[in-house]
């Protein structure tokens, strides 16, 4: 499988795929006689799993640790399991935090909701006037 095809299948750019290989997140792919990468189809599973790790906020450096252990073979199974168990716990925490935030958002939105009738709460502005600022800090102001 060529890199372009893999890109289409995974939604990653060819640039990103090469980058991943370069840093060791993907195994070094076979090259055909003209030097082009020929990916094994099984790479799809691995990339998908990496996607899960990424979605759940695992930094690349940790994925690299995991990938390295994977390369070392069977003996590293329990280390890998441990990494995943620790990570799973972080994901659980993350979900709990988000759910808490969701409640706060609900409350806040409810405060704005009541029939376009303004409540004090949602409009409280701490320190009076806000300085426009943004002199040399930013360019054409995109905000």
Using CB under 8 A, list all residues that contact a second copy. Answer: 22-24, 27-30, 39-40, 42-43, 45-46, 49, 52, 55-56, 61, 64-65, 67-68, 70-71, 73-74, 77-78, 80-81, 84-85, 87-88, 91-92, 94-95, 97-99, 101-102, 104-106, 108-109, 112-113, 116, 118, 122-134, 137-138, 142-143
Q: Check binding of 4 to DNA (CB under 7 A).
A: yes
The answer to whether the beta carbons of residues 84 and 53 sit under 8 Å apart is: no
The answer to whether the beta carbons of residues 107 and 113 sit under 8 Å apart is: no
32-91 residues in contact with DNA (CB under 7 A) are 33-37, 54, 59-61
Minimum Å gap between C-beta 94 and a second copy is 6
Q: Residue 44's closest CA among 61, 62, 60, 26?
A: 26
Q: Which does 14 bind (CB under 5 to 8 A by kind): a second copy, DNA, none?
A: DNA
H or E, element range at 136:
none
- Reduced to 3 states (helix: H, G, I; strand: E, B; else coil), residue 11 is coil
Q: Which does 18 bind (CB under 5 to 8 A by kind): a second copy, DNA, none?
A: DNA
Residues 25, 63: Cα–Cα separation, whole Å:
7
The answer to whether the beta carbons of residues 1 and 41 sit under 8 Å apart is: yes
CB nearer to a second copy: pick between 33 and 143: 143
């Amino acid at each position: 499988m060529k890199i372009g095809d893999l890109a289409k299948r995974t939604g990653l750019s060819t640039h990103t795929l090469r980058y991943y290989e370069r840093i060791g997140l993907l195994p070094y792919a076979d090259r055909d006689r003209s030097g082009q990468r020929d990916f094994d189809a099984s790479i799809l599973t691995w990339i998908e799993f990496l996607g899960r790790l990424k979605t759940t906020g695992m930094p690349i450096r940790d994925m690299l640790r995991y990938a390295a252990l994977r390369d070392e073979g069977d003996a590293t199974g329990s280390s890998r399991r441990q990494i995943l168990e620790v990570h799973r716990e972080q994901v659980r925490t993350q979900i709990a935090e988000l759910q808490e935030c969701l409640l706060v958002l609900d409350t806040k939105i409810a405060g704005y909701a009541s029939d376009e009738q303004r409540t004090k709460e949602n409009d409280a502005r701490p320190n009076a006037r806000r300085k426009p600022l943004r002199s040399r800090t930013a360019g054409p102001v995109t905000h």
